[in-house]
Chain A
Amino acid sequence: MAGHVSPKSTYYAIFGALMVLTVVTIYVAYQPLGSWNFPVAISIAITKATLVILFFMHAKYSSRLTKLFVGTAFFFLFIMLTLTMTDNLSRGLKTYQGGAGGAGYGQRDAAESAPAPKAPEGTPAH
């Protein structure tokens, strides 16, 4: 009945990799990469999570069904995030000549960045 037994060295190696990646993510966070900071940080986090899932949680040595389940979880999370974004990122996009500008990317911060009246931003119909 015993499942796959990983050698201790595998675990230590993965731990080492995770430590390195943690240090990297902190270091990179302090570098001025502008909007790239976020994708880099997320990519590192995804890499770390993948290592934990594959090796610590033994997904690499598990059945295809298990792998399918793992993929499904993240797929539906992805759906939830992206489909919602179709709404929030596209509110108030110009729908006609001279229409009100977008209230999507970072333009909702207070005071100086909002030239037009703030309420009710988003829906052109209002």
Chain B
Amino acid sequence: MASTASLAAPTAPLVTYLNHQHGVASWLLTKDHKRIGLMYMVVVTFAFFLGGIFASMIRLELATPAGDLLSADTYNKMFTMHGVAMVFFVLIPAVPAILGNFVLPLMLGAKDVAFPKLNLLSWYIFVIGFLFTVYAMVAGGVDTGWTFYTPYSSRASNANVMMTGIGVFITGFSSILTGLNFMVTIHRMRAPGLTWFRLPLFVWAVYATSLVQILGTPVIAITVLALAIERGLHFGIFDPALGGDPVLFQHMFWFYSHPAVYIMILPPMGAISEVIAAFSRKSVFGYSFVAFSSLAIAIFGFLVWAHHMFVAGISVYSALVFSFLTYAVAIPSAVKVFNWAATMYKGAIWLKAPMIWAICFLGLFLVGGLTGLFTAALGVDVHIHDTYFVVAHFHFIMVGGAIMGYFAGLHYWWPKITGRMYSDIWAKVAAVIVFAGFNLTFGPQFILGYLGMPRRYHVYPEEFQVLNVLSSAGASILGVGYMLVAIYLLASLFKGERVGANPWYATGLEWTTQSPPLPHNFEVQPIVTHEAYEYTRREVTVG
């Protein structure tokens, strides 16, 4: 399929979605999915920074065995707010709301998402929820853990639980509406000829994610609402003194929060599919397997939530059922990893920055996923639950997986979004620093957890200090790496080389239009006549 836009960098200034309208109002009242994606990026980046500060406080405290930097209460607030900020305001929205918003309509050959005004509303809802939560943080913070377990959160703790709950409740609607928008867009706004099995795998991933957002998020909404009302009006559905079941809260909470982790990982996996295909110059191996595995993860992901509750007091028979189901959900993820590796095998590997991030993803996600199998085993989890082993496991997935995947996608689509290329060298350096820092931070935590160090404590026995110091040192390196990413990406906006429509010579409709794209994306409605990832048969025409 020939590109209709020039591959060469533009010689005359283009009309783009960035410059066709000016002024704050043109951004705050925009209905353009591309601008909305950028607006999400601003808020999410700020939330990431905020969550990072809380993480720094945690690692600083844990550099010494004694609780010398923060009191226990303050420390509890630190890990709570770190979790709340990262889970709800970074990981959940990052790839779908930023990259998904920007790229999805382009990939589909559409002018926008199905409901552009709703899309803008989603952003406002997101911001309002974030403001409520930040207010709660500033007002003194919450110390229940991001998991808000009752009865501590419903009967004790402090008043900020309600405020944070309201913030999370509101933000949930942003996630729901985004998922709704994406699903309808994918169903009804694909370009002529773009059948389901010609879709890029990123679209399958986003679709599966949207399914989870639609089905799961309302449950945490009602959970948090019930908690807030229980606190505020002294209702009693979780109160053991009345015969209530605090574990009911956990069931309701985790019914969403487990599938939530698939909201966090599926879109980055989709981005990885795109990057690996483009930089192996090869079609993704086993396309339909990868596509269906996204759906399988989304659906199976709803069947495993109580593996977070193995030691909470649920029945052992139930625990066995959930343990078994948890192994089932690991299978589609493994399918993806095998297929990505098979894609690279005998491909023409082009080691540009996005590919470096993607390869880092593969290694770290693999470790994270495998350690998930450890925790999925009921007998093992009884020992490692609530230890640093679990902390390391989910950080390998969430940071080593989701954030790395986000960065891979960000570095891949950055030239499309901005029309500029960043420094490839610095990007690779940053990737290596982040990779090293990450492993140093979370690798020792597997050992710490295995040795028995519990999570959510600001003190620990002296024999754990060496590993903790290594972890804290790693965290500072990780921080440097992230700072570096921010710097060279920002610098590229001013000094980056301008690029044409398709700097990576990749397939996909988004690469057939100019960089940055037109306000309405395409000059002429694209019509699709070929499969996705036709790297071997495709000819790139210049000019």
Chain A interface residues toward B at CB < 8 A: 65, 72-73, 76, 79-80, 83-84, 86-88, 90-93, 95, 108, 122-126
Q: Are A86 and B302 in contact (CB under 8 A)?
A: no
Chain B residues, CB < 8 A from A72: 215
In B286-320, which residues have CB < 8 Å from any A CB?
Answer: 302-303, 305-306, 313-318
For B155, the chain A residues whose CB sits under 8 A away are: none
- Do A87 and B215 form a contact, CB below 8 Å, given A76-B302, A79-B302? no
**In this assembly, does B428 line the interface, its C-beta being within 8 Å of a C-beta of chain A?**
no
**Residue pair B303, A95 in contact (C-beta under 8 Å):** no
CB < 8 Å neighbour of A87 from B302, B303, B314: B314
Other 14 A-B pairs with CB < 8 A, given A76-B215, A87-B247, A123-B315: A79-B303, A80-B219, A80-B255, A83-B305, A83-B322, A84-B255, A87-B315, A87-B318, A88-B245, A88-B315, A90-B317, A91-B314, A92-B315, A93-B317
Q: Is B20 an interface residue (CB 8 A)?
A: no
- Taking CB as reference atom, which chain B residue is nearest A124? B316
B220 → chain A, closest Cβ, in Å?
12
Which residues of chain B are within 8 angstroms of A124 by Cβ–Cβ distance? 316
Interchain Cβ contacts under 8 Å between A and B, 24 examples: A65-B187, A73-B215, A76-B302, A79-B303, A80-B219, A80-B255, A80-B302, A83-B303, A83-B321, A83-B322, A86-B317, A86-B318, A86-B321, A87-B251, A87-B306, A87-B314, A87-B315, A88-B315, A90-B318, A91-B315, A92-B315, A108-B243, A122-B313, A123-B315
Q: How far is the CA of A34 from the CA of B219 in the complex (A)?
A: 32
Q: Contacts A76-B215, A80-B255 given: A122-B303 contact, CB under 8 Å?
A: no
Residues of A within 8 Å of B187, CB to CB, are 65
| Residue contact A123 to B303, C-beta cutoff 8 Å | no
Q: Which of B311-346 contact A (CB under 8 A)?
A: 313-318, 321-322
CB closest residue in chain B, given A77 = B215
In the bound complex, do residue B321 and residue A123 qualify as a contact, i.e. CB atoms below 8 Å apart? no
Given the complex, which residues of A lie within 8 Å of B302, measured CB to CB?
76, 79-80
Judging by beta carbons under 8 Å apart, are B316 and A95 in contact? yes
Expressed in whole angstroms, the Cα–Cα distance for A58 and B207 within the complex equals 26
| Alpha-carbon distance A88/B321, docked complex (angstroms) | 13
Residues of B bordering A, CB below 8 Å = 187, 215, 219, 243, 245, 247, 251, 255, 302-303, 305-306, 313-318, 321-322
**Distance in angstroms between the alpha carbons of A92 and B187 in the assembled complex:** 47
In the complex, what residues of B have CB within 8 A of residue A123's CB?
Answer: 313, 315
Inter-chain CA distance A125–B305, complex, in Å, is: 21
Inter-subunit contact A84/B315 (CB<8 Å): no
Q: Across the interface, which residues of B come within 8 angstroms of A125, CB to CB?
A: 316
Bound CA span A108–B240, Å: 12
Residue of B nearest to A91 (CB): B315
Nearest CB on B from A5, distance (A): 23
The residue of chain B having its C-beta at the shortest distance from the C-beta of A102 within the complex is: B315
Please, how many angstroms separate the alpha-carbon atoms of A108 and B317 in the complex?
Answer: 20
Shortest beta-carbon distance from A46 to chain B in Å: 20
Shortest distance from the beta carbon of B310 to any chain A beta carbon, whole Å: 11
Which residues of the partner chain A approach B316 to less than 8 Å between Cβ atoms? 95, 124-125
Query: How long is the Cα–Cα vector from A123 to B215 in the complex, in angstroms?
Result: 31
- Across the interface, name the chain B residue whose C-beta is closest to A85: B318
Closest to B321 in A: A86
A76 partner residues in chain B, CB cutoff 8 A: 215, 302
The answer for the CA separation of A60 and B215 in the assembled complex, in Å, is 23
| Residues in chain B near residue A95, CB distance under 8 A | 316
Determine the distance from Cα of A35 to Cα of B447 in the docked complex, in whole angstroms: 53
Which residues from A are CB-within-8-Å of B317?
86, 90, 93
Question: For B219, what are the chain A residues with a Cβ–Cβ distance below 8 Å?
Answer: 80
A123 to B247, CA, bound (A): 12
Closest chain A CB from B247 CB (angstroms): 8
Q: Chain B contacts of A80 at CB under 8 A? A: 219, 255, 302
Given contacts A91-B314, A93-B317, A123-B313, contact A84 B251 (CB under 8 A): yes
Question: Shortest beta-carbon distance, A97 to chain B, in Å?
Answer: 16
Find chain A residues with CB under 8 A from B306 CB. 83, 87
Residues in B whose Cβ lies below 8 Å from that of A79: 302-303
Instruction: Please name the residue on chain B nearest to A119 by beta carbon.
Output: B240
A88–B322 Cα gap in the complex (Å)? 14
Q: In whole angstroms, what is the CA distance A76 to B322 when docked? A: 16
Shortest distance between the CB of A41 and any CB in chain B (Å)? 22
The interface residues of chain A lying within 8 Å CB-to-CB of B318 are 86-87, 90
Query: In whole angstroms, how far apart are the Cα atoms of A91 and B247 in the complex?
Result: 12
Instruction: List B contacts of A90 (CB < 8 A).
Output: 315, 317-318
CB-based nearest B residue for A87: B318
Cα–Cα, bound, A49→B251 (Å): 27
Question: CB-CB < 8 A to A86: which residues of B?
Answer: 315, 317-318, 321
Bound complex: CA of A92 vs CA of B317, how far in Å?
10
A98, B511: Cα distance in complex, Å:
70
Within 8 Å by CB of A122, from B215, B251, B305, B315, lies: B315
- In this complex, what residue of A is CB-closest to B313? A123
A91 to B251 Cα, complex, angstroms:
14
A90 and B317 alpha carbons, distance in the complex (Å) = 7
Cβ contacts under 8 Å, A122 to chain B: 313, 315
**How many angstroms from the CA of A67 to the CA of B268 in the assembled complex?**
30
**Minimum C-beta distance from A77 to chain B (A):** 9
A-B pairs, 3 with minimum CB distance: A87-B318, A90-B315, A91-B315
Q: Which B residue's beta carbon lies closest to that of A120?
A: B313
With both chains docked as a complex, state the minimum distance between the C-beta of B317 and any C-beta of chain A, in angstroms.
5
